Amino acid sequence: MDCVAARFPASAGLPWFELAGLPIYPPPAMFWWWYFYDAYAPHVFMEGGAIVASVGLMAIVVAIFMSIWRAREAEDIRTFGSARWAERENIETAGLLGDDGAVLGRYARDYLRHDGAEHVLCFAPTRSGKGVGLVVPTLLTWPGSAIVHDIKGENWELTAGFRARHGRVLLFDPTNPHSAAYNPLLEVRKGEWEVRDVQNVADVLVDPEGSLKSGITGRKPATRCAQIGDRNELPSGATPPGGNG
Tally of domains in the chain: 3
- Which of the four pLDDT bands, split at 50, 70 and 90, describes residue 21? confident
- Which of the four pLDDT bands, split at 50, 70 and 90, describes residue 223? low
pLDDT of residue 113: 95
Q: What percent of the chain has pLDDT above 70?
A: 77
- Which of the four pLDDT bands, split at 50, 70 and 90, describes residue 221? low
Instruction: Establish if 39 belongs to a structural domain.
Output: yes
- Which of the four pLDDT bands, split at 50, 70 and 90, describes residue 11? low
Question: Domain check: are 70 and 40 in the same one?
Answer: yes
Kindly report, residue by residue over 59-103, the tens digit of the pLDDT.
Answer: 999 999 998 888 777 666 677 777 888 899 999 999 999 999 999
Instruction: Establish if 243 belongs to a structural domain.
Output: no
Instruction: Establish if 79 belongs to a structural domain.
Output: no
Instruction: Establish if 86 belongs to a structural domain.
Output: no
Instruction: Establish if 120 belongs to a structural domain.
Output: yes
Among residues 164, 192, 220, which one ends one of the domains? 164
Of 158 and 230, which is predicted with more confidence? 158
Query: Across residues 172-183, what is the average pLDDT?
Result: 89
Among residues 132, 164, 196, which one ends one of the domains? 164
Instruction: Establish if 11 belongs to a structural domain.
Output: yes
114 vs 179: CA distance, rounded Å? 32
Kindly report, residue by residue over 124-144, the tens digit of the pLDDT.
Answer: 998 898 999 999 999 999 999
Of 33 and 124, which is predicted with more confidence? 124
Question: Domain check: are 153 and 105 in the same one?
Answer: yes
134 vs 155: CA distance, rounded Å? 11
Instruction: Establish if 179 belongs to a structural domain.
Output: no
pLDDT of residue 45: 74
66 membership: H or E segment, kind and range: helix 42-75
pTM: 0.51
Question: Domain check: are 109 and 160 in the same one?
Answer: yes
Instruction: Establish if 114 belongs to a structural domain.
Output: yes
**Cα diameter, the chain:** 140
Domain hosting 111: range is: 91-164
Closest CA to 170 of 144, 146, 152, 187: 146
CB 24 within 8 A of CB 18: yes
Query: According to the 3-state scheme, what is the secondary structure of 93-147?
Result: HHCCCCCCCEEEEEECCEEEEECCCCCCCCCCCCCCCHHHHHHHHHHHHCCCCCC
Query: Across residues 14-25, what is the average pLDDT?
Result: 78
Closest CA to 146 of 127, 132, 160: 160
pLDDT of residue 62: 92
